[in-house]
């Protein structure tokens, strides 16, 4: 890549597209981070407009600084055809199902601009591996706690993928107590646990407020997080042992409250498993996609 070349980095969620300029293998360029709203349940025109705005903003920024955009690299949730860049989701971005990312961007980028894609959880793990080469030895994994439960793992620095490019092993849909593990380790699970324990939230309050209550001594709130942690350990331990995971990262919105779950998780996992928390999940993902 030429010295004046830049990459447009995208971290695509259900409500926002985070973007920045990046340099291959180095991460995001300071001062270029932007957040563009997107409606994953919106019309094709609305979704297209958000993606075009996110990319064109960064292309203009690069050009004004005398740089050339050589690639657009994006982290997205699945299902998605990561090799061909085609949307395959029906629960999100359903209105652009079957359409390619290049088609959606249209003339915002030229045909010479390379496109590359990665599953968002794989992207987070790739970012952690890129930031610290010591994690490129042995088996390393990541669990993301948020709206859902994400999981990915790498062997000697190589992200393990399914044929479509998604994580090779999932935890969210692992059979568990008559349902799936995500029913017990997720935003909705913590809200349910707190409610079942008699906790009361005001309209508009969410897991963030439960965490705040826990830190001010609300025992019901503390137990809601501990309960989710115990379920995670019970549902994930065998998979982690089977994969020989030596280092486990935690990330995501709920993982920002990892201190409320840490004791139960450390107690339930083998002592040989080292644990780290990725505080800046967006930054880590953007570092990861520069390596695509």
CA–CA separation, 192 and 23 (whole Å): 43
Q: What is the pLDDT of residue 97?
A: 96
∠ at Cα 180 (178, 181), nearest 5°?
120
The DSSP secondary-structure symbol of 100 reads B
Q: What is the residue-wise DSSP string for 40-65?
A: TTS-HHHHHHHHHHHHHHHHHHHHHT
Q: What is the pLDDT of residue 78?
A: 87
Going by C-alpha positions, the residue among 225, 216, 239 that lies closest to residue 160 is 239
Q: What is the pLDDT of residue 38?
A: 94
- Judge if the upstream peptide bond of residue 79 is cis by omega within 30 degrees of 0: yes
Chain centroid to CA 162: how far? 17
Q: Residue 188 to residues 42, 145, 199, 278: CA-CA distances in angstroms?
A: 23, 11, 14, 22
The runs of H, that is alpha helices, within 38-157 are 44-64, 101-105, 120-131
* Threshold 0.85, pTM exceeds: yes
Parallel/antiparallel/unpaired status of strands 274-277 and 247-251? parallel
> Residues with Cβ < 8 Å from 153, sequence gap 6 or more?
125, 139, 140, 141, 142, 159, 160, 167, 168, 169, 243, 245
- How is the beta sheet containing 158-159 ordered, strand by strand? 158-159, 149-155, 139-145, 247-251, 274-277
Q: Which tokens go with 89? A: 């989701």
Cα distance from N-terminal residue to C-terminal residue, the chain: 13
Q: How does pLDDT run along the chain (292 residues), one tens digit per residue?
A: 566 889 999 999 888 999 999 988 777 888 999 999 999 999 999 999 999 999 999 999 999 999 999 999 999 988 999 999 999 998 889 999 999 999 999 999 999 999 999 999 999 999 888 877 888 889 999 999 988 899 999 999 999 999 888 999 999 999 999 999 999 999 999 999 999 999 999 999 999 999 999 999 999 999 999 999 999 999 999 999 999 999 999 998 777 899 999 999 999 998 889 999 987 777 778 777 777 7
> Residues with Cβ < 8 Å from 67, sequence gap 6 or more?
4, 5, 6, 21
How many residues does this entry show for the chain?
292
CA–CA separation, 263 and 268 (whole Å): 9
Q: What is the pLDDT of residue 290?
A: 79
Q: What is the pLDDT of residue 1?
A: 52
In order of start, what are the domains of the chain with their CATH numbers? 5-112 (3.30.420.40), 124-279 (3.30.420.40)
> Residues with Cβ < 8 Å from 248, sequence gap 6 or more?
140, 141, 142, 143, 240, 269, 273, 274, 275, 276
């Amino acid at each position: 890549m030429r010295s004046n070349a830049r990459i447009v980095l995208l971290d695509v969620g259900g409500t926002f597209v985070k973007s920045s300029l990046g340099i291959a293998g180095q991460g995001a360029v300071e001062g270029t981070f932007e957040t563009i709203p997107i409606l994953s349940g919106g019309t094709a025109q609305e979704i297209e407009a958000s993606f075009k705005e996110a990319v064109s903003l960064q292309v203009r920024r690069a050009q004004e600084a005398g740089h050339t955009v050589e690639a657009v690299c994006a982290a997205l949730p699945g299902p998605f055809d990561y090799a061909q860049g085609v949307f395959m989701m029906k629960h999100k971005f359903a209105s652009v199902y079957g359409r390619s990312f290049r088609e959606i961007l249209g003339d915002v980028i030229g045909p010479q601009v390379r496109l590359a894609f990665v599953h968002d959880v794989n992207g987070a793990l790739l970012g952690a591996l890129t930031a610290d080469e010591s994690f490129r030895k042995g088996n390393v994994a990541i669990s993301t706690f948020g709206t859902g439960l994400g999981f990915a793992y790498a062997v000697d620095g190589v992200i393990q993928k399914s044929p479509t490019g998604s994580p090779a092993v999932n935890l969210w849909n692992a059979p568990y107590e008559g349902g799936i593990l995500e029913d017990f380790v997720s935003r909705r699970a913590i809200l349910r646990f707190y409610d079942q324990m008699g906790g009361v939230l005001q309209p508009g309050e969410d897991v963030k407020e439960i965490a705040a209550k826990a830190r001010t001594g609300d025992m019901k709130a503390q137990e809601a997080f501990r309960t989710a942690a115990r379920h995670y350990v019970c549902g994930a331990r065998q998979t982690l042992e089977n994969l020989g995971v030596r280092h486990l990262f935690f990330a995501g919105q709920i993982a920002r409250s990892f201190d409320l779950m840490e004791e139960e998780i450390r107690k339930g996992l083998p002592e040989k498993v080292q644990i780290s928390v990725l505080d800046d999940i967006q930054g880590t993902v953007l570092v990861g996609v520069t390596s695509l």
